[in-house]
Amino acid sequence: MMLYYDRKSPYIVIFDTAEGGINDIKIPCKSNTTPFPSILNSKKYDSTLLDLMEAARHTGSIRLKYIFYYQVLEYCSYYYLENGLKRKLENIVKSPDILNSNLYSSKIIELYSEYFKRNNDSQRMESLLKDLCSFDDIKNEIVSNADCFINDVCFDGGLKIEKLFNKKEEIDNPQNGIMTIIRKNIDNIRNVLVHARESRENVVISPTVRNNVLLRPYLYVLRRLAENVMIKFE
C-alpha cells in the first residue's frame, strides 16, 4: 500500500521457505554425463531467439523464465515449416522459370493457405517439437528429478499436472506419444502463468515459494527444448 502512494517508498519483504523436501531439485547438466566438447560448431542465430534466451537466463523470476523459454517455442513454431511443405516450397523456388510470378505466386499462396487452415498454434508446436526434438534430448532433465515426474504435481492454487510415469524404470522405455503429453503439460502451466487462472478449471499457480520450487523440473525440461529448437531452427 505504501507503493500505491509513493513509488520510491522502502518496503520489507518476508521470505517464505519451501516445505516437504521439495528443495532437493537437481540442476540437470549435460557435462555431468558427457564430456564438454573440445570443438563447437556454431552458426548465425536469429537475434529474437537470442534476446529471449538471454532474458530468460538473467531474470530472477522463475515464472518469467518459464514464459521467455516458452516464447522461444512459440516464435519458432509460428515460422517453422513442416518438412513436406518446405520441400514443396523449395521445389517451386528452384524452378528455372520462377520469374513467372503469376504462376508461382498462386501456388505459394495455396500452400500457405492450406498449411495455416489445418494448423492451429498447438498443432504447429507439435510439429516443431516432433521434427526438432526427441525424448532423448530431455531424458537427462527427467532422470535428474525423476520423483517429480512419477508423482502428480499439485500447485498451490489448484493446478494439477499428472505424472508422466508410474515408476522410474519406465523412463528408459517411455510410452508412445510421451512428447505430446509433455508438451500439453508445458502448455497448461504456461497458460495459467500468463492468464493468472485456467478459465475452464478455475485453478491458478499461486506466487508462492513452494510453487516456484515445483515449477523448476518442468522449467528445466522447457529450457532444454527451447535450446534444442533454437540450435536447429532455420
pLDDT tens-digit readout, 128-181: 999 899 999 999 999 999 999 999 999 999 999 999 999 999 999 999 999 999
Q: Which three cell numbers stand for residue 5?
A: 502512494
Place 87 in a pLDDT band, splitting at 50, 70 and 90.
confident
Place of cell 556454431: 42
Q: What CA–CA distance (Å, rounded) separates 118 from 130?
A: 17
Count the Cβ atoms, other than its own, within 10 Å of residue 131.
15
The mean per-residue pLDDT over the stretch 67-81 comes to 91
The CA distance from 113 to 106, in Å, is 10
What is the Cα–Cα distance from 207 to 198, expressed in whole angstroms?
Answer: 15
Strand, helix or coil for residue 204: strand
Q: Is the pTM of this model over 0.85?
A: no
Angstrom distance (rounded) from CA 171 to CA 139: 8
Whether residue 23 has pLDDT greater than 90? no
Q: Which helix (H) or strand (E) holds 128?
A: helix 121-132
